[in-house]
Structure 1
Amino acid sequence: MKFSDYQRSIRDTDQRPGQNLEDITVHLLGLAGEAGSVAGAYKKYIRDGAADTTFKLRMREEIGDVLWYLAAITDHLELNLDEVAATNLEKTRGRWLLEEADAYDTEFPELERLPRHGTYEFIPGTNGEGRPTITVMFDGQALGAELTDNALVDDGYRFHDVFHLAYATVLGWSPVTRALMNRKRKSSPDIDESEDGGRAIVIEEGVAAFVFAYAARHEYLDGLNRVDQHFLDQILLMTHGLEVGSRKQADFERAILQGFNAFRELRANNGGFIDFDADARELKYRPRAAD
């Protein structure tokens, strides 16, 4: 049976079919009560174990009652239960399942594409003011100027280019990396301006700073394999309208976690190598050889 067929069928048994606030409230309270009944039935099973011989029958009944109220509320709100189910499935798959992610630049000349494989080297140093620095190298060339933490405390932000590398590797998106590597898609002026230009670069740097602030309050994500849903939703809001808007929460979560796995190693060892594979959507830390 389709959800929408079930939704139409329950109308015959709806004792409060009106559209007044009280009618909808009755169904909302009924849903809350039946959800409690499901929990109560499971509590009894935990308590009694095998002695609770009617557990599955009772759960089937209680879950059915929950479904009835869900269908009734959906109907009262003039929604379609098929669409509700499909939307929820899309949402949950985007949150928990990493899907295939085609590169955004396959149709562009090779020199305008992000590299698919390679190695970044993070070289430590000290500037004229005695502050620790990092120079990032790729294929024998420095990517931009040497970086400091730009802060009064040593929090390791000088290693933050690894976050942009993680976005490029896992998401296939990084206007910052394109600018550093001189791989902006200039053959398409519209794409160059809207996706690789200053606004997109600022948004990506904002995402990196936002993620860093979150991670700094969670031990730089050490030992975590998930991040907060609301936090991921905010990142999707920040990047809405850009090409990376096609990526889901699970994609960003993987990019963030992999980026911080590499960041913690770089910070602990004061530099090293990051090998990346965009086909596998992975990056890994490799230490420098001992002197």
Structure 2
Amino acid sequence: MIARKSDKVKSCPEEDEMKFHAFQEAAHQTDQRQGTDLADIAVHLLGMVGEAGSVATEYKKLLRDGPAHTAAKARIREELGDVLWYTATLATKLGLDLDDIARANLEKTRDRWLLTTAEPFDDQYLLAERLPRTGTFEFVASVSDAGRPTVRVRHDDRWMGDPLTDNSHVDDGYRFHDVFHLGYAAVLGWSPVTRKLMGRKRKSNPEVDEAEDGGRAIVTEEGIALMAFAYATSHNYLDGVTRLDFRFLNVIKDVTAPYEVGVRTAADWEQAVLTGFTAWRALRDNNGGTIILDSARRSLTFVGC
């Protein structure tokens, strides 16, 4: 590692007062290559990579030697400290603040891994303009006059929309995709498509009806359903999958940012997509059936035909 000691180093803050920004400033004082040329940055970048490798090496020794490696904790602490030093000095060279880096990282990881409480967006509206909190939805399979498999959804003895085919050259079961929208309604409390199909758009508030429940929001949700289906086709239709790619979830977050559902996290979307596909696979495998929606449990349950 680069020598970092200097006769001119100022005393560091007390350990219990040390903040990331203070650490960054203190680390900069010990940096023997304080320039910002490409070579200066490259030396520190390679140093960080090397120290990260040292962390792995020490842990490898711990796995190999077990309790006999009595200095493991102290050495891993030292190597992690070196990684932190290089991170701080690189941040300085690149004009970044370590406090801001840490804050942004926590925001990202919380969004990725923590579910929200998912309060409904429409509690203040009349029942006729609210998404269902509970409900039974029958997916009734049939065959069109042209001989193509179709599906139609029924709720409380009322049909929701027209019969759907796969709209594809192959029988891939996409005709059951309305269950994805029910999944979004159950987990996220959001589904402009379900509102349209059930006649529950919030027409009492024209601005909300246009911006949140209108055509653009509906197209956005249908696009998400199609994108999720395309993703799932290369992942065994998410059978046995418990985690989705962060980049995929970020795309969903980006396209839904302008809407009320923009407050939902990537973790919420992950649960919504997985919940929808679990129900979809059951409908596909049984060529239809009944789905019970429960927004309090954020769930869809398949109960058979």
Q: TM-score of the superposition, structure 2-length normalised?
A: 0.91
Q: 2:45 pairs with 4, 18, 28, which one?
A: 28
Matched, 1:115 2:132: yes
Question: 2:200 and 2:128 mapped to 1: Cα distance?
Answer: 6
Q: 2:202 pairs with 185, 196, 207, which one?
A: 185
Moved more, 223-232 or 253-262: 223-232
The 5-angstrom pairing of residues 221-236 of structure 1 reads 221-236=238-253
Question: 2:286 and 2:83 mapped to 1: Cα distance?
Answer: 54
Superposed CA offset, 1:181-238 (max 9, x none): 1111111211111111111111111111111111112111111111111111122222
Partner in structure 2 of residue 270 of structure 1: 287
Q: 1:61 pairs with 57, 72, 78, which one?
A: 78
Instruction: Quote how far apart the aligned CAs of 1:103 are.
Output: 1.4
Matched, 1:82 2:99: yes
Partner in structure 1 of residue 121 of structure 2: 104
Partner in structure 2 of residue 131 of structure 1: 148
Letter in 1 for 2:297: A
Question: 1:201 and 1:271 mapped to 2: Cα distance?
Answer: 24
* Structure 1 alignment gaps of length 5 or more: none
Instruction: Quote how far apart the aligned CAs of 1:20 are.
Output: 2.3
Partner in structure 2 of residue 2 of structure 1: 19
Superposed CA offset, 1:20-40 (max 9, x none): 222222211111111111111
RMSD value over aligned CA atoms?
1.2
Identity %: 57
Q: 2:55 pairs with 10, 21, 38, which one?
A: 38
Question: 2:148 and 2:173 mapped to 1: Cα distance?
Answer: 12
Give the number of aligned pairs.
288
Instruction: Quote how far apart the aligned CAs of 1:141 are.
Output: 0.4
Instruction: Quote how far apart the aligned CAs of 1:17 are.
Output: 1.6
* Structure 2 alignment gaps of length 5 or more: 1-17
Q: 1:146 pairs with 149, 156, 163, which one?
A: 163
Letter in 2 for 1:25: A
Letter in 2 for 1:247: R
- State the secondary structure of the residue aligned to 2:231: helix
- State the secondary structure of the residue aligned to 1:118: strand
Structure 1 segments, 4+ long, off by >4 Å, are none
Letter in 1 for 2:246: Q
Matched, 1:157 2:174: yes
Question: 2:101 and 2:87 mapped to 1: Cα distance?
Answer: 10
The 5-angstrom pairing of residues 196-235 of structure 1 reads 196-235=213-252
Matched, 1:93 2:140: no
Moved more, 14-23 or 156-165: 14-23
Superposed CA offset, 1:25-84 (max 9, x none): 221111111111111111122222222111111101100111111111112222221221
Partner in structure 1 of residue 13 of structure 2: none
Letter in 1 for 2:127: E
Instruction: Quote how far apart the aligned CAs of 1:261 are.
Output: 0.4
